[in-house]
Amino acid sequence: MSLTQELEKRKQDLEKSLQDLSCCKSGLARYKFFQTNKKDKEKAELEYAKALGLLAETKQLHDESSKTQSYETFFVKEEKAKLVNQNSRHERRISQILKEKEQMKKDFKGLEDKEIDKLFALEN
């Protein structure tokens, strides 16, 4: 083989090696891109799982809070009904006492008038 032919062959081998290297570089770039995307996907899935956990925890807290609030509302309404009933009884009792007071005033006024009439009768 002549030197020119050998040089030409080596040149072709070098070009083929460069093409292989270029192909390997693009394959490596795709692999790195895939690995980066895989890591990003795993990171996103982890974040998603955390978000779902927080959402479930928040829902549970909300449900518990709603139950507590419902119980509190029930007991407040029940206590209000008791106080309204008690207030109503007190108002009736006050009304009764005021009627008795008025009656006592009338009775006392009547007794007082009778006593005055007796005094006038005795003086005459």
Model pLDDT, residue 124: 64
| The model's pTM | 0.43
CA distance 11 to 13: 5
Backbone angles phi, psi at 104, to 5 degrees: -65, -40
CA distance 102 to 105: 5
pLDDT averages per 10-residue partition of the chain, 124 residues: 79 81 79 82 89 91 88 90 94 94 85 77 73
Q: Which of 47, 7, 74 is nearest to 82 (CA)?
A: 74
Q: Report CA-CA distances (Å) from 45 to 31, 49, 53, 56, 99.
A: 20, 6, 12, 16, 79
Model pLDDT, residue 99: 93
